[in-house]
Structure 1
Amino acid sequence: MEHFTTSPTEILLLIFLAIVFLQSGIDKIVDWKGNLSWLTGHFSKTFLKGMVPILLGTVLVAEMASGILSVLGIHEFLCLGESPFAFYGAMLSAITLLLLLFGQRVAKDYEGAKTIVIYLVPTLFLVFLLQ
């Protein structure tokens, strides 16, 4: 735990990303049909309407990978005091959030897009800290 005191901001932000993305990914796995149904309606009037299942699968993989890399980054930080996995997790998390932001903007769900920005700001701060 000695490394926690040298990089607490990075570790806490990685915990944040692990919670956000693993919970979201697990929710998509557990309630695939419900998520697919809701998103199909959400994108019904956009050019993405025929691609919802593949896009949902892509987001699921990106979220789970972001969460897993964040957990690996936490472990490495605690054991070694530094972590390439943390940087990869932060970068993939930022990319995943940008994908989600793009989808919300395409669907003209501007409130949803604003919510994603709330997650994007600390994620970009973590990328900055880890570069």
Structure 2
Amino acid sequence: MTLLLNNISEILLSLFLVITFVQSGLDKLFDWNGNLSWLKGHFENTPLKNVVPLLLGIVLVLEVIAGVLCTIGIYQLISIGESQVAFYGAVLSCLVLLMLLFGQRVAKDYDGARTIVIYFVPAIFLVFLLQP
């Protein structure tokens, strides 16, 4: 119980990232065609238009890895007080969010980019809390 309370901020922020990225990854996995169709339209007037399926696959894989790392990190924070895996999950989460931000900016979807920033703030704060 002491480890849980000593690491509660890190655990809650990691849980936020788990929910964010596991749900997003599962959505991409189970509705690949719907996501791909929407993104092709979203990027049709950008230099990224020909690589949307590849980029969607990369984002899918990285989101799932980030979510899994954060999940393992939560377990380690609670059970042994170790934060290294959670740190890697938080860093990867930030990198994924930066990739998504880049895409939104290229597509000139400034409202979408602003939304990504809302997710980036807690993710970078978690990196700050967990850095060795």
TM-score (norm 2): 0.98
Q: What is the match of residue 31 of structure 1?
A: 31
Runs of 4+ in structure 1 over 4 Å off: none
Q: Which amino acid aligns with 1:59?
A: V
State the alpha-carbon separation in 1 of the partners of residues 49 and 64 from structure 2. Answer: 23
Aligned residue for 2:72? 72
User: Per-residue deviation at 1:54?
Assistant: 0.1
Displacement after TM superposition at 1:67 (Å)? 0.3
Could you say which residue in structure 2 is the equivalent of 1:15?
15
SS in 1 for 2:45: coil
CA distance in 2, matches of 1:127, 1:103: 22
- Give RMSD over aligned pairs: 0.5
Query: 1:2 Cα deviation (Å)?
Result: 2.5
- Count of residues in correspondence between the two structures: 131
| Distance across 2 between alignment mates of 1:58 and 1:7 | 31
Partner of 2:120: 120
Which whole-Å deviations, capped at 9, do the CAs of 1:56-92 have from their partners, x for residues lacking one?
A: 0000011000100000000000101122110000000
Which 5+ residue runs of structure 1 have no aligned equivalent? none
Structure 2 unaligned blocks of 5 or more = none
Percent identical residues: 61
Bigger mean CA offset, 97-106 vs 77-86: 77-86
Q: Which residue of 2 aligns with 1:2?
A: 2
| Separation of aligned partners in 1, 2:117 and 2:62 | 17
Residue 18 of structure 1 and its aligned partner are, at CA, apart by: 0.2
1:129 equivalent in structure 2: 129
| Mapping for residues 26-105 of structure 1, pairs under 5 Å | 26-105=26-105
